[in-house]
Chains A and B, each alone.
Chain A
Amino acid sequence: MEYSLFRALTQLGDDSLILGQRLCEWCGHGPTIEVDLGLSNLALDLIGQATMLLDYAGELEGGGRDADALAFHRNAEQFANCLLAEQPNGDFARTVVRHLLFATYASALYEALTASPDARLAEIAAKAVKELRYHADFAADWAERLGDGTEESRARMAEALDWHWRFVNDLFHDDRDWAACAARGLVPLRQSLRYGFERDVSAILERAGLALPRKVWPIVGGRSGQHSEHLSVLLATMQVLPRAHPEAVW
């Protein structure tokens, strides 16, 4: 039974890790210094969350793996992050929309996880939820600014929404392991958060003068290791040193 919780924790940890890794790519290249520093803050929070979640996953697994072993020594198909997290940064609008969708989902999820009967998970969630609420606000503020800024920024936001919307179903997918944990009351079903998510995102987009995209054929598979083309490239970069020097301590 602990296997399900191990899998659920890697889903959570991998989301944070892979999105954090993506945000690292912005460092030094942001549209202003302030935004650059802001994106680094988001990345730092996510990498901190990933470390706590994956360390806990490794302990539960009982095979001597810690967060680093899980982060640097698994292949793409063993990663359980949502497809949204691994999508390339694109322009700043795509980064903002990716973060808006992710953080709106994750802040509601972690809010619920603070009440988990698993004390360690509840403790991690209590720290993470404060960070993720800020992430959701940061993304919502930028969504509003860009949606209601210039013609160009509005067009880029509409394109970015259209780009990412196909991955939303995957974000809310309850796979067998997650559902098993939900049945034990350790985590909420993601589907139970979907209504609130659409309500919150719609409200933000309305303030930004943007609309929810129409329903599209969903692209799914992240939780079961069926990723997009981008993940293995991201991992090739991220894992290069530990893979080249497996015996080294850094």
Chain B
Amino acid sequence: MYTTELGKVSPLQDGAQEDPERLAAFETRVAADEFVEPKDWMPQAYRRTLVRQISQHAHSEIVGMLPEGNWLTRAPSLQRKAILLAKIQDEGGHGLYLYCAAETLGTSREEMIDALHSGRAKYSTIFNYPTLNWADIGAIGWLVDGAAIMNQVPLQRTSYGPYARAMVRICKEESFHQRQGYDLLLALAKGTAAQKAMSQDALNRWWWPALMMFGPPDEDSPNSAQSIRWRIKRETNDQLRQKFVDATVPQAELLGLTIPDPDLNWNEQRGHYDFGAIEWDEFYAVVRGEGPTAKERITARRDAWANGAWVREAAAAFEAKRAARVAA
């Protein structure tokens, strides 16, 4: 699962301090769609933007395990339990590759995790919404992972090599996750009235937050232009959001569900769906950490880390003793 750029940096400002010749050579390479590798020279702002974006993405994968994990012990069949477990495990795996990709830029996993726990780093706003019924697990796969795929497919061609390569595997798995979520909802669509009501309730709650996942409208996304020039992003927030709406509306119809937007209409002239206004105040509140389950999510992560400290210390002490024994 993916977050869109959330933090505030000003990448343009310190471009002025870079060696102009190196900067120009770098820009030319990136414009030619060449990959930048860890040992290559890169502008400080490019490095910082990437660490921010990749670590936010990694944090989102790890925090994102929590809302789905909430239903793992209550999955209603053994098969669904196994599928969900494997799915959440994939998300943890994504977090792991992404931390590794970000580490190639010179920031350690511990530093990144510390930034998350202290609130300096963000994660995707979507995970600060609660999972209230079993259909939420389907809605997360279908809508949240679906939105993630829209965001991430272009990132397979992002300019930073380790990030792009991690994204190839992540995209394959996310696409499987999306089908998993849709399959779960198809089963509910064929089910009882109560099961159908669960699905509609889930869609009602997840639709707008899913649209917010693409980030602020283009006119309010000051870093987008630079990120696109650097091939860190490849399409604008609004372009991706439109693509998502266009792809998802027919899928909702197939499930017999109603998108909770009275302004949703097919626009023949544009060849796209028009949709209603997004409540950006809510988005910014959730970004500030005021989402319904923000406190629960970050507390769960801090607790897991604190409760596991003695395990990590023990493992490190054991390794040190073993290395000393081998050396002796």
Contact = CB atoms under 8 A, between A and B. Distances in A.
Contacts of B194: 245, 248
Interface stretch (B61-69, B153-161, B211-219): B61-69
Contact of B134 (A25, A35, A68, A241): A241
B267 interface: no
A109 interface: no
Contacts of B315: 145, 149
A182 interface: no
A50 B312 CA distance: 32
A92 B4 CA distance: 34
A34 interface: yes
Interface string B173-209: 0000000000010011011101100000000000000
A67 interface: yes
A29 B308 CA distance: 9
B77 interface: yes
A247 B62 CA distance: 35
Contacts of B75: 241
A248 B192 CA distance: 6
Interface in A11-62: 17, 21, 24-25, 27-37, 40-41, 43-44, 47-48, 50-51
A33 B85 contact: no
A27 B308 contact: no
Interface stretch (B47-55, B89-97, B269-277): B89-97
A148 B192 contact: no
B302 to A, nearest CB: 11
A27 B85 contact: yes
A250 interface: yes
Q: Is the interface of B mostly helix, strand, loop or mixed?
A: helix
B93 to A, nearest CB: 6
Contact of B86 (A44, A68, A152): A44
B321 interface: yes
B73 interface: yes
Interface string B274-311: 00000000000000000000000000100110011111
B73 A238 contact: yes
| Size class of the contact patch on chain B | 35 or more
Interface in A58-74: 67-68, 71-72
Contacts of B20: none
A195 to B, nearest CB: 30
A51 B80 CA distance: 12
Given A21-B73, A250-B187, A27 B65 contact: yes
B191 A31 contact: no
A156 to B, nearest CB: 7
Contacts of A248: 76, 191-192, 194-195
Interface of A: 17, 21, 24-25, 27-37, 40-41, 43-44, 47-48, 50-51, 67-68, 71-72, 91-92, 144-146, 148-150, 152-153, 156, 237-238, 240-242, 245, 247-250
26 contacts: A24-B73, A28-B62, A28-B66, A30-B304, A33-B62, A33-B95, A33-B96, A35-B311, A40-B88, A41-B89, A47-B81, A50-B78, A68-B78, A146-B311, A146-B318, A149-B314, A149-B315, A149-B317, A153-B314, A153-B317, A241-B74, A241-B75, A241-B134, A245-B194, A248-B76, A248-B191
